[in-house]
């Protein structure tokens, strides 16, 4: 009897799966048609507002116990659809990439690591551009071509920048300066240059001084990443919904800033803000470098006897950043040393307050500290691009 019930249920699931496959294929074809319409109208492929609308509509129809699973499934489905749209856009461009005789817009991405590789994916279809990926690693170049992230791959920066209309430097800070210095004379007049370095003040003026006249330069920093780097971990949806800092120099033209904002929105960034290089480095010390420093410090001296049975989700969340590219992060932290040292001092002061409360058994003081921190956390969460100037608690209030 049980065998018959099991067999009947399996047949039911098989039928549902057949229907799902048919519906999935229909959705992919509809996504391709949407991509064609957007390309003909010169509209960005990404539309984060529409994506949220789709997910919310699906969740509203789900049973209470299935809400989180439904949201995750719809996000996965949207990501697959976007990949299909980008592939459709790439194929639609279908030109001979051996030369630039057709004068198509050309993007050169220098450095195909996690961020550079993800940009290559995410910028597919932008201005119907050909994308040239530059990387010194032969395996990375081969993988980028195999996965259709780029149209051409080379280890020659000069070759790429000579024909590029947009150059995106995705390198370590000092590498960024070196590459520009070694190839400055080959940047063509009218090219647009940006970099995605995690620190700005130590490099932007140097890069600007090295670039020839007639080159527009607007640095930026997409606030996206993963603990696992390299092109093999690159993904087209890395920038969906993330923050994005634009760090123009004082005399930057407004239209050049607007162009970087357009790039940011195309790849899916949601919270976009212009700040000076100095402001960027001061804020990034707190929001990016300190989490790395704290995660590494916490993992530096783990107690004896720890097993998987004793590791909580909170520990995984807090220490996620300890497993990253040590060479890159050492460069970033040292380059931003002044701001990082100030934040470390502030952090040590906060730890000392907590330590004293624990040592004295002052439950009410510790509770006040935790409530105070929680209030700031809640303000941070709800601060958006439209409400970015909200005041936060300060100890000297």
CB-CB contact of 134 with 156 (8 Å): yes
Alpha helix stretches (DSSP H) within 105-253: 114-122, 138-146, 157-163, 173-183, 204-210
* pLDDT higher than 90, residue 211: yes
Q: How confident is the model at residue 391 (pLDDT cuts 50, 70, 90)?
A: very low
Weakest-pLDDT range from 142-146, 291-295, 302-306 = 302-306
Which of 68-82, 88-102, 207-221 shows the lowest per-residue confidence on average (mean pLDDT)?
88-102
Cβ-based neighbours of 341, under 8 Å, separated by 6 or more: none
Q: Tens of pLDDT along 34-81?
A: 888 887 787 877 777 888 888 888 888 887 777 778 888 888 888 788
Greater confidence (162 vs 26) lies with: 162
Q: How high is the pLDDT of residue 130?
A: 93
* pLDDT of amino acid 88: 67
The better pLDDT of the pair 348, 236 is held by: 348
Instruction: Check if the beta carbon of residue 121 is closer than 8 Å to that of residue 132.
Output: no
Q: Domain extents for the chain?
A: 2-91, 106-275, 280-359
**CATH code, 106-275:** 3.40.50.720
Compute the half-sphere exposure of residue 49: CA atoms within 13 Å on the CB side of its CA.
3
Q: Which sign, positive or negative, has the C-alpha torsion 54, 57, 63, 65?
A: positive
Q: How confident is the model at residue 216 (pLDDT cuts 50, 70, 90)?
A: very high
Is the pLDDT score of 97 beyond 60?
Answer: no
Question: What pLDDT is stored for residue 388 in this prediction?
Answer: 43
Residues 6 or more apart whose CB falls under 8 angstroms from that of 166 comprise: 105, 106, 107, 108, 129, 191, 192, 193, 194
Same fold, 2-91 and 280-359: no
In 3D space, the residue among 45, 29, 98, 20 whose CA is nearest the CA of residue 266 turns out to be 45
Token pair recorded at residue 207: 């890069």
Residue 343 near residue 285 (C-beta atoms within 8 A): yes
**pLDDT digits 0-9 by tens, 317-344:** 888 888 878 888 898 999 999 999 999 9
pLDDT of residue 89: 64
Q: C-alpha distances in angstroms, 177 versus 152, 160, 187, 208, 289?
A: 24, 17, 14, 9, 21
* Per-residue pLDDT tens digits for 184-201: 999 999 999 999 999 999
Stretch 111-139: mean pLDDT, rounded? 93
State residue 1's pLDDT score.
66
pLDDT (0 to 100) of residue 325 = 80
- Confidence (pLDDT) at 162: 94
Burial class (CB in 10 A: 0-12, 13-18, 19+), 80: middle
CATH of span 280-359: 1.10.3660.10
Percent of the chain with pLDDT over 90: 51
Domain range 2-91, its CATH number among 3.20.20.140, 1.20.59.10, 1.20.1260.10, 3.40.640.10 = 1.20.59.10
Q: Edge to edge, what strands does the sheet with 243-246 contain?
A: 220-223, 243-246, 271-274
Edge-to-edge strands, sheet with 106-110? 152-154, 130-134, 106-110, 166-169, 192-195, 216-217
Mean pLDDT of 220-241: 87
């Amino acid at each position: 009897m049980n065998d018959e019930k099991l067999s009947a249920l399996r047949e039911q699931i098989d039928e549902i799966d057949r229907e799902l496959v048919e519906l999935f294929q229909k959705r992919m074809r509809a996504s391709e048609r949407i991509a064609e319409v957007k390309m003909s109208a010169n509209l960005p492929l990404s539309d984060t507002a529409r994506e949220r609308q789709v997910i919310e509509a699906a969740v509203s129809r789900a049973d209470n116990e299935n809400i989180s699973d439904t949201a995750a499934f719809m996000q996965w489905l949207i990501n697959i659809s976007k990949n299909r749209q980008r592939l459709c856009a790439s194929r639609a461009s279908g030109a001979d990439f051996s030369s630039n005789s057709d004068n198509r817009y050309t993007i050169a991405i220098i450095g195909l690591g996690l961020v550079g590789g993800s940009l290559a994916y995410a910028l597919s279809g932008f201005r119907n551009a050909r994308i040239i990926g530059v990387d010194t690693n032969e395996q990375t170049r081969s993988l980028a071509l195999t996965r259709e992230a780029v149209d051409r791959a080379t280890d020659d920066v000069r070759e790429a920048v000579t024909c590029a209309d947009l150059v995106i430097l995705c390198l370590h800070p000092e590498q960024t300066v070196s590459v520009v210095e070694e190839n400055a004379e080959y940047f063509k007049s009218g090219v647009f240059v940006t970099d995605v370095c995690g620190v700005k003040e130590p490099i932007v003026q140097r890069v600007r001084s090295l670039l020839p006249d007639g080159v527009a330069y607007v640095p930026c920093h997409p606030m996206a990443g993963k603990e696992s780097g390299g092109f093999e971990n690159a993904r087209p949806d890395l920038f969906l919904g993330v923050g994005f800092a634009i760090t123009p120099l004082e005399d930057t033209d407004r239209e050049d800033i607007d162009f970087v904002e357009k790039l940011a929105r195309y790849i899916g960034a949601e919270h976009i803000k212009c700040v000076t290089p100095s402001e960027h480095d001061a804020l990034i010390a707190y929001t990016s470098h300190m989490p790395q420093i704290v995660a590494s410090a916490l993992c530096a001296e783990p107690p004896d006897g720890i097993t998987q049975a004793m590791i909580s989700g909170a520990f995984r969340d807090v220490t996620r950043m300890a497993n990253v590219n040590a060479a890159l992060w050492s460069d970033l932290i040292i380059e931003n040393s002044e701001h990082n040292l100030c934040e470390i001092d502030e952090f040590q002061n906060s730890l000392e307050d907590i330590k004293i409360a624990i040592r004295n058994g002052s439950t009410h003081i510790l509770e006040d500290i935790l409530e105070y921190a929680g209030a700031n956390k809640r303000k941070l969460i709800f601060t958006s691009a439209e409400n970015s100037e909200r005041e936060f608690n300060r100890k000297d209030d």
